[in-house]
Amino acid sequence: MKIKIRTIVILLVLGMTTAAGLIYFGIYNVAATEQHTAPVYKLLEYAMRKSVLLRADSSRVPDLSNEQRLRSGTTHFRAHCVQCHGAPGVAPEPFSYGMMPAPANLVAAAREWEPAELFWVIRHGIKMSGMPAWEYRLSEQEIWDIVAFVERLPTLSPQEYEQWGKQVPAQASPAPARLSEADNVALGAGDAKAGERALQQYLCVTCHQIPGVAGANRHVGPPLNGIAGRRYIGGVVLNTPENMVRWLQNPKQFAPLSAMPDLGVTNKDARDIAAFLSTLEDLD
Ligand code: HEC
Ligand code: HEC
């Protein structure tokens, strides 16, 4: 018994040392030109499927058959999905050929996934794969519209797809919901927890150091620790909750030369993010 345990421990330590060595010496190849090995690919795919199955909620699938929904789904598919996934008779944009894993043809996805699972995947995206989350860009209604369209893909001919496109012209992303001043007041104070989640979906982490947020250790802009206690935002405007919301939505109105772009932050998300920032009191 003693020997057995000792063997297991030795094997475990050996395995972990090998894995650490592969990473430390840079032997693991991150190139997108190298396919995952078959076991790694299978494992990732399996983990993804299990994760979606656990979370998809099939109790709230709306009626997907109505014509209006399908039309809206077509428009959104053309605006946001065909670039990576292609469509009947349509190749995706060349950049997607270089993605690893390659974006799936959604005819297969429509056959394999239930509507609630498609909804979940589109809404939340898939970590480490290049599949974006659309939760902060499209409403639930719009995502269901896309699901309705994807469900139709297996029986949609290239001619029909082209024809539908003529009926509903491709549309750029709708402008983010910017409410009036009165609506702004009605929205009330933001929710700091929701703000912490939202800021992960607006690229803030790619430019700022933000305490408690993994990966947010960039210094393109100033670090945000201690922002709650700073007198001015961007050195130009008094740090009040209202001004912070305005800054987050359009920094250039205060600092025309600012390198921080207008990221299309919606009213609600700006309030929530401002509420989160107001909790960042510590300087370290
Ligand atoms: C930037 C490229 C990109 C865009 C844009 C994109 N996807 Fe994806 N999508 C991916 C990648 C990469 C995967 C993961 C690999 C794969 O297909 O399994 C994926 C996976 C999926 C899957 C799971 C497929 C499966 O069977 O594994 C679905 C469903 C899906 N995307 C739907 C959509 C829809 C609908 C849209 C538009 C709202 C969209 N995607 C936009 C890249 C993209
Ligand atoms: C492309 C990089 C970039 C992105 C993305 C970005 N910022 Fe900034 N941010 C900056 C820069 C640069 C400044 C410095 C101020 C200036 O340019 O006037 C700044 C300033 C700020 C300030 C004022 C800081 C201070 O010390 O006064 C806050 C707060 C802020 N950003 C929050 C955010 C949040 C929240 C997000 C996501 C919604 C975000 N930023 C996204 C680059 C960025």
At residue 154, the pLDDT reads 95
C-alpha dist (Å) from residue 272 to 33, 73, 196, 277:
40, 29, 8, 9
Q: Which residue has the higher pLDDT, 281 or 171?
A: 281
In words, the CATH class of domain 181-277 is mainly alpha
Question: Which pLDDT score is estimated for 184?
Answer: 57
Distance, CA of 198 to CA of 83 (rounded, Å): 25
The predicted-structure confidence for 23-32, as pLDDT tens digits, reads as follows 999 999 999 9
Mean confidence (pLDDT) of the chain? 91
Task: Annotate 59-124 with three-state secondary structure.
Answer: HHCCCCCCHHHHHHHHHHHHHHCHHHHCECCECCCHHHHHCCCCCCCHHHHHHHCCHHHHHHHHHH
Closest CA to 207 of 195, 197, 222: 222
The Cα–Cα gap between 182 and 192 comes to: 22
Spacing, Cα 127 to ligand 2 middle (Å): 25
- Kindly report the protein residue whose alpha carbon is nearest to atom 23 of ligand 2: 234
Q: What's the 252 CA to ligand 1 centre distance in angstroms?
A: 34
What is the rounded distance in angstroms from the CA atom of residue 221 to the CA atom of residue 205?
A: 10
pLDDT value of residue 118: 98
For ligand 2, mutation pick of 207, 249, 272 (most atoms within 8 Å of CB):
207
C-alpha 224 – ligand 2 centre gap (Å): 8
Which pLDDT belongs to residue 24? 95
* Whether the CB of 220 sits within 6 Å of ligand 2: yes
In this prediction, residue 284 carries a pLDDT of 72
Q: Across residues 33-50, what is the average pLDDT?
A: 94
CA 67 vs CA 117, 119, 148, 246: distances in Å: 22, 18, 10, 39
Does 211 contact ligand 1 (Cβ within 6 A)? no
pLDDT of residue 174: 52
34 C-alpha to center of ligand 1: Å?
Answer: 20
Whether pLDDT at 178 is above 70: no
Does position 172 have pLDDT exceeding 70, yes or no?
no
Region 232-253: mean pLDDT is 95
Dump pLDDT digits (tens) for 123-148. 999 999 999 999 999 999 999 999 99
pLDDT of residue 20: 95
What kind of architecture, by CATH, is found in domain 56-167? Answer: Orthogonal Bundle (1.10)
Q: What is the pLDDT of residue 189?
A: 82
So where are the chain's domains? 56-167, 181-277
CB 81 near ligand 1, within 6 Å: yes
Atom 25 (ligand 2) nearest CA:
234
Q: Would you place residue 164 in the very low, low, confident or very high pLDDT band (cuts 50, 70, 90)?
A: confident
The ligand minimizing its distance to the Cα of 134 is 1
| The pLDDT value given to residue 203 | 94
100 Cα to the center of ligand 1, angstroms: 12
Nearest listed ligand to the Cα of residue 119 = 1
Checking if the pLDDT of 121 tops 90, the result is yes
- Tell me what pLDDT residue 171 has: 54
For 167-184, give one letter per residue: b (16+ CB within 10 A) or e: eeeeeeeeebeeeeeeeb
pLDDT of residue 69 exceeding 70, the answer is yes
The bound ligand whose nearest atom lies closest to the alpha carbon of 228 is 2
Fold matches, 56-167 and 181-277 = yes
pLDDT at residue 17 greater than cutoff 90: yes
Distances (CA, A) of 58 to 62, 106, 113, 207: 10, 20, 11, 38
Return the pLDDT at 257: 92
Distance CA 177, CA 104 (A): 31
Could you report the per-residue pLDDT of 181-225, keeping only the tens digit for each? 555 555 678 999 999 999 999 999 999 999 989 888 889 999 999
| pLDDT recorded at residue 186 | 59
Q: What is the pLDDT of residue 282?
A: 84
Nearest atom of ligand 1 to the alpha carbon of 112: 26
243 lines ligand 2 (CB under 6 A): no
Q: Is 99 in the pocket of ligand 1 (CB under 6 A)?
A: yes
From 42, 55, 85, give the residue whose CB has the most ligand 1 atoms within 8 Å, as the site to mutate. 85
The residue whose CA has the least distance to atom 20 of ligand 1 is 131
> What is the CA(243)–ligand 2 centre distance, in A?
13
Q: How far is CA 132 from CA 104, 135, 209, 215, 263, in A?
A: 13, 9, 23, 17, 16
Query: Region 93-114: what's the mean pLDDT?
Result: 95
Work out the end-to-end distance of the chain between its first and last CA atoms, rounded to an integer number of angstroms. 50
Sign of CA dihedral 193, 199, 205, 209: negative
User: What is the number of alpha carbons within 13 Å of residue 178 lying toward its C-beta?
Assistant: 12
Instruction: Note every long-range contact of 164-173, with CB atoms under 8 Å and residues 24 or more positions apart, other chains counting.
Output: 164/71, 164/74, 165/74, 165/78, 167/71, 168/71, 168/74, 168/75, 168/78, 169/75, 170/75, 170/78, 170/79, 171/75, 171/78, 171/79, 172/79, 173/79, 173/80, 173/137
